[in-house]
Amino acid sequence: MSSSTQLARDIDGKAIAAQVLEEVREHVAALSLEHIVPALAVVLVGDDPASQVYVRNKLLRAKEAGIRSLEYRLPATTQQTDVLKLIAELNADPLVNAILVQLPLPAHIDEGAVIDAIDPLKDVDGFHRQNVGALVQGADVLKPCTPSGCMRLLHETCANLSGLHAVVIGRSNIVGKPMAALLLQAHCSVSVVHSRSVDAKALCRLADIVVVAVGRPHMIDASWLKPGAVVIDVGINRIETESGTRLVGDVDYASARTVASAITPVPGGVGPMTIAYLLMNTVIATRAQQARPTPQHSHETTEQLALSE
């Protein structure tokens, strides 16, 4: 028998994100025929360097897609009441279709209170409790961006997700929990493991799909994976190297690709998809607001208002 190892193929997040951005541009063009320019408001409180980079990238990509962006930079000392006042103004502004509050917020501000103050139809991050509830019920309009991006990567990689066993490692509100809900909607059998799980590795070794969102560099290596598993690495960790620093995922890519059938690299995997789905959500939100139910149509569900992606 040959001892050569077949390596997993890369799931090219950059290329798939480019396709999603092309779809966004098509939606923007269709909206422009109705004289509508989607507008995204980004609120950044404080001067966290990573947040500044994320916001800059989001605004740049929005501009490229033909989406109008509005940037609100507030000092770290801003009081919660002032952030809530700004959100109320953006909610009331018919020319603002999407509101993103960059997290984390300074410690004196209650993130939940700020997110729940956003109009659910403008909540492009999909973090408002109404959108989270709708997601669990499968009646969603605005779904969290990173899990949406991961699902697109999986749909592009696997012919059929139905019946596959997916293990999600991590249970955050931003990634792990919504990811599990979306996989369940796609008819996977879903297990979620976290820091209290007993023998997470044994469960993971049974999985056809592994989605890792932990925030620990190189935690998952080949010994965690069933041969042929599809691996989605959400983690972004900056580590020290001899020549400086570099970004790595939660998965030990070199090891995992000797066992997996397909894997996302870091960078160039999930990261580009998150921004692409932020912009897709902006056009979905814009459409949903155009069709916002009037009192006489109040029986319509928000699901009926969503764009087909």
Site residues (vs ligand NDP, CB under 6 A):
146, 169-172, 174-176, 193-197, 200, 213-216, 234-237, 270-271, 274
Given the complex with ligand NDP, which of 146 and 281 has the nearer CB atom? 146
C-alpha span between 171 and 174 (Å, rounded): 8
Given the complex with ligand NDP, which of 66 and 268 has the nearer CB atom? 268
Active site residue 125: yes
Q: Are 213 and 180 in contact (CB under 8 A)?
A: no
Phi then psi for residue 145, to 5 deg, are -70, -45
For residue 43, the cross-strand partners are 72, 101
Least spacing, CB of residue 77 vs ligand NDP, in Å: 25
Catalytic residue among 102, 208, 233, 250: 102
Nearest position to ligand NDP, beta carbon: 172
3-state DSSP assignment of residue 16: helix
Phi then psi for residue 260, to 5 deg, are -70, 165
Active site residue 79: no
Least spacing, CB of residue 289 vs ligand NDP, in Å: 26
Active site residue 137: no
The residue written with tokens 């056009």 in the block is 283
Given the complex with ligand NDP, which of 25 and 216 has the nearer CB atom? 216
Least spacing, CB of residue 270 vs ligand NDP, in Å: 4
Given the complex with ligand NDP, which of 137 and 173 has the nearer CB atom? 173
Concatenated DSSP letters of 57-115: HHHHHHHHTT-EEEEEEE-TT--HHHHHHHHHHHHH-TT--EEEEPSPPPTTS-HHHHH
Q: Are 239 and 216 in contact (CB under 8 A)?
A: no
Least spacing, CB of residue 110 vs ligand NDP, in Å: 17
Catalytic residue among 123, 125, 140, 252: 125
Give me the active site residues, please.
Answer: 58, 102, 125
